[in-house]
């Protein structure tokens, strides 16, 4: 199959690609149209130097950049970012899939300019492609994260089990691209009463969560101390890590969590729910929030 077999879809030309395929059903084959989720590289530059190249689904790129910088420890808050813009070349023409970030000066940085890099130097000794399946990229050890990020404070948040049961259908019904491609992860932010506030889709589940965090940072709605994070698929360690940084007290998922995800959620005070399907769920950690 050559690239000439692909063309942009009218459904969402930024995130969906249309192509012809040979479909087999038993011993019968036929030509038909299919939809593919777009995956493209996305480069984040700081002070004109490349920090990371992320494989992602286009859309909400500024949110992804902010969320990525926050989850990697490059910034501590939105105030650390002086500007976030689409990058341009030497002729001032736009560069596709590249954003340029300027950080607020704060001491001597590793890129020889006065930047905020000094706070977490380990986060910047990296320049590589981040795959769509990579989450906790650039961390030297799990222990570093646990030692530098405080657990959630005790709270009186209580969430009805009936409310939790409604989340999967609300998530699925809002996944416009997944409905046509079947190849996207989704992350959604809900109130403790079950109202969906925000949904993002991406080929990488961690990218979708970063976009939620980035939205909050860009719009002054961060952190999410009384919210529920709902993710499609499984819950891995990096999802717990990102939720912890966003101070999200409850995570629900369609599939199972990993053992390390359960261990971290238990240690930091996050209620972790898995196998949320058909009015059934497993509550792995901190079940006191579910009533």
CB distance 44 to 52 below 8 Å: yes
Helices (H), 112-175: 142-148, 161-173
CA end-to-end distance (rounded Å), the chain: 53
Q: Which two tokens mark 80?
A: 């650390």
Q: Which residues contact 219 (CB under 8 A, 6 or more apart)?
A: none
Q: Which residues contact 153 (CB under 8 A, 6 or more apart)?
A: 269
* Residues forming the active site: 134
31: burial class by Cβ within 10 Å (0-12, 13-18, 19+)?
exposed
């Amino acid at each position: 199959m050559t690239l000439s077999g692909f063309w942009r879809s009218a459904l969402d030309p930024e995130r969906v690609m249309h192509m012809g395929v040979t479909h087999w059903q038993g011993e019968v084959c036929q030509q038909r149209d299919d939809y593919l989720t777009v995956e493209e590289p996305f480069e984040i530059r700081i002070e004109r130097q490349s920090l990371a190249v992320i494989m992602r689904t286009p859309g909400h790129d500024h949110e992804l950049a902010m969320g990525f910088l926050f989850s990697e420890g490059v910034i501590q808050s939105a105030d650390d970012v002086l500007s976030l813009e689409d990058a341009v070349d030497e002729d001032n023409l736009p560069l596709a899939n590249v954003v340029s970030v300027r950080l607020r000066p704060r001491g001597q940085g590793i890129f020889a300019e006065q930047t905020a890099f000094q706070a977490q130097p380990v986060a910047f000794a990296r320049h590589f492609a981040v795959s769509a399946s990579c989450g906790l990229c650039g961390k030297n050890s799990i222990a570093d994260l646990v030692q530098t990020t405080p657990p959630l404070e005790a709270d009186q948040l209580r969430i009805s089990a009936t409310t939790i049961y409604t989340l999967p259908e609300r998530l699925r019904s809002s996944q416009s691209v997944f409905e046509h491609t079947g190849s996207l992860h989704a992350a959604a932010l809900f109130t403790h009463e079950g109202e969906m506030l925000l949904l993002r889709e991406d080929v990488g589940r961690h990218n979708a969560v970063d976009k939620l965090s980035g939205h909050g940072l860009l719009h002054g709605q961060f952190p999410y101390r009384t919210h529920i994070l709902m993710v499609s698929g499984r819950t891995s360690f990096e999802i717990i890590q990102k939720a912890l940084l966003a101070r999200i007290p409850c995570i629900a998922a369609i599939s199972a969590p990993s053992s390390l995800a359960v261990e971290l959620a238990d240690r930091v005070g996050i209620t972790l729910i898995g196998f949320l399907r058909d009015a059934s769920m497993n509550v792995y950690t901190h079940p006191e929030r579910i009533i």
